[in-house]
Amino acid sequence: MRRALFAILALMGLALAQKPVEITFWHTAGPPGQEALESILDDFNASQKEYKINYKYVGDYREGGLKLLAALRSGGAPNVFHAEISFLGRMVQDGIALPLDDYLGTLPNDFYPGFLQTGRLAGKTYGLPIGLSVPVFFYNADQFAARGIAVPKTWAEVAAAAQKLTTRAAKGYIASSDIYSFNAVVMAQGGSIVTKDGKPNFTDPKVVASLQYLQDLVRKGAAQSRNIAEAQFSVADFLRTKAFMGIAPITIWPLIESRAPIPFKLGVAAVPLEPGGKVPLAGGTLVALKGTNEAQLKGIVALWKFMMEPANIAKWTKATYYLPMRRSAQPLLEDFYKADPRRRVAFGQAENADVWIQDPGFTVWYSYLEDALERALKGGADAKAVLEEAQRRALSVDKK
């Protein structure tokens, strides 16, 4: 009887020892990337028995962020969250994110320059990037060909093309007044909307010149101004040939193609860069949240390393058009590039990419900049004056 009891206890102990560490993961990858991501998560769970990822889609970056804030206040927050990298600084400042350096070990040396830096703040790794994107220059190739216009290589050529393409019924360029699109223009000029120490830099000459450039296009009737709330109309303008070119994240490309056939030949090119110009890296990163135990932190890093295997990077890239994180994934994407050579041109910008913003105050003061952009581009207010006002408002918050 005693032997039987010991045997039962031993079996129970073995069962408990084999129970995987459970990790709750909230992700923000909607279609077309949702299926690919969740497939990779399922593959990770099936590949080992030490960890189990319990994943849940919680909406896009903004919607998911709001749900996370609510969960942090009321309880029930996940162990790991799929956050937009521009919000990482605030998560670190508020003590929500946990550093992961102690669990990383030795990493492959073929990550593209700057990619891992998107998850590092104050010398520590708080984010593990899984999907980084750059903006690309989209244009209506049929209209360009009909008017004999070459793909612009400089911003002066963009302005000239916009004038030639503009008619009574359509605008040549879409001037978006959201912070991402404006920052892409600023960085392409070699400027930055933040200083090296993370402070607002709205009155820098290159920032002012970038807004004046866009405002000039709008005033001449060569550009259609759209704010962040009108993003869907920007896409509609382009697809309905009410506008013929603009800058947008590369990830919008498969999203548009998955919804409806594009009624013209889509042109895709690298963003024109002036000397010293860069393209901003944006996208998602895994963030381990406070309250997560050591075993779960090890599991989060193990999941990320699995996602960073070349085959999984290739799978994710083909579904989302996110940049491949590692050079070793490139051979697995050759068929993807050959099927549509435009993809290679767009992804070739990886070498000119840089982190776009990590300042913790961004989540507060970015609205001041977007307000200034809208007032200039839609209301016709003086570009320099509205940027100076936005700078004063942002700095007043930064001092608090």
CATH topology of domain 135-270+361-398: D-Maltodextrin-Binding Protein; domain 2 (3.40.190)
Confidence band for 235, pLDDT divided at 50, 70 and 90: confident
Which residue is associated with the tokens 């509205």? 386
- C-alpha dihedral over 343, 349, 351, 357, to 10 degrees? -130
Residue 20 in this model has a pLDDT that exceeds 90: yes
Give the Å distances, CA to CA, from 160 to 23, 128, 157, 173.
54, 41, 5, 10
Per-residue pLDDT reduced to its tens digit, 257-272: 877 789 999 999 999 9
CB of 271 within 8 A of CB of 136? yes
Residue 114: beta bridge partners? none
The pLDDT of 376-388, averaged and rounded, is 96
pLDDT of residue 361: 75
Per-residue pLDDT reduced to its tens digit, 206-226: 999 999 999 999 999 999 999
Q: Which range, 89-93, 150-154, 392-396, is most confident?
A: 150-154
Task: Choose among 153, 12, 183: nearest CA to 86.
Answer: 183
Residue 176: beta bridge partners? 226
pLDDT of residue 54: 98
Residue 399 in this model has a pLDDT that exceeds 80: no
In this chain, the answer to whether the domains covering 2-132+282-355 and 135-270+361-398 adopt an identical fold is yes
Residue 361 phi, psi (nearest 5): -75, -5
Q: What is the 3-state secondary structure (H, E, C) of the chain?
A: CHHHHHHHHHHHHHHHHHCCEEEEEEECCCCCHHHHHHHHHHHHHHHCCCEEEEEEECCCHHHHHHHHHHHHHHCCCCCEEEEEHHHHHHHHHCCCECCCHHHHCCCCCCECCCCHHHHEECCEECEEEEEEECEEEEEEHHHHHHCCCCCCCCHHHHHHHHHHHCCCCCECEEEECCHHHHHHHHHHCCCCCECCCCCECCCCHHHHHHHHHHHHHHHCCCEEEECHHHHHHHHHHHHCCCECEEEEECCHHHHHHHHCCCCCCEEEECCCCCCCCCEEEEEEEEEEECCCCHHHHHHHHHHHHHHCCHHHHHHHHHHHCCECCEHHHHHHHHHHHHHCCHHHHHHHHHHHEEECCCCCCHHHHHHHHHHHHHHHHCCCCCHHHHHHHHHHHHHHHHCC
Out of 26-30, 73-77, 233-237, 289-293, least confident range: 233-237
pLDDT of residue 15: 47
Q: What residue type is assigned to position 78 of the chain?
A: P
Per-residue pLDDT reduced to its tens digit, 191-201: 999 988 878 99
Q: What residue type is assigned to position 113 of the chain?
A: P
- How many other C-beta atoms lie within 10 A of the C-beta of residue 287? 26
Please tell me the distance from the alpha carbon of residue 48 to that of residue 370, in angstroms, as a whole number.
46
User: What's the maximum distance between 2 C-alpha atoms anywhere in the chain?
Assistant: 94
Confidence band for 62, pLDDT divided at 50, 70 and 90: confident
Please tell me the distance from the alpha carbon of residue 56 to that of residue 76, in angstroms, as a whole number.
13
Q: What is the 3-state secondary structure (H, E, C) of 98-113?
A: CCCHHHHCCCCCCECC
The pLDDT of 383-394, averaged and rounded, is 96
Residue 16 in this model has a pLDDT that exceeds 70: no
Residue 9 in this model has a pLDDT that exceeds 50: no
Residue 11 in this model has a pLDDT that exceeds 80: no
CB of 64 within 8 A of CB of 70? no
Confidence band for 22, pLDDT divided at 50, 70 and 90: very high
CB of 375 within 8 A of CB of 351? no
pLDDT of residue 398: 58
Q: Could you tell me the residue ranges of all domains in the chain? A: 2-132+282-355, 135-270+361-398
Mean pLDDT for the chain overall: 91
pLDDT of residue 362: 77
Between 195 and 107, the more confident residue is 107
Strand-strand pairing, 120-121 and 245-249: unpaired
Residue 365 in this model has a pLDDT that exceeds 80: yes
CATH number for the domain whose boundaries are 2-132+282-355: 3.40.190.10
Counting Cα atoms < 13 Å in the Cβ hemisphere of 257 gives 12
Confidence band for 17, pLDDT divided at 50, 70 and 90: low
Out of 235-239, 317-321, 326-330, 370-374, least confident range: 235-239
pLDDT of residue 397: 77
pLDDT of residue 14: 46
Residue 391 in this model has a pLDDT that exceeds 60: yes
The pLDDT of 46-58, averaged and rounded, is 97
Please tell me the distance from the alpha carbon of residue 150 to that of residue 158, in angstroms, as a whole number.
10
Please tell me the distance from the alpha carbon of residue 95 to that of residue 48, in angstroms, as a whole number.
31
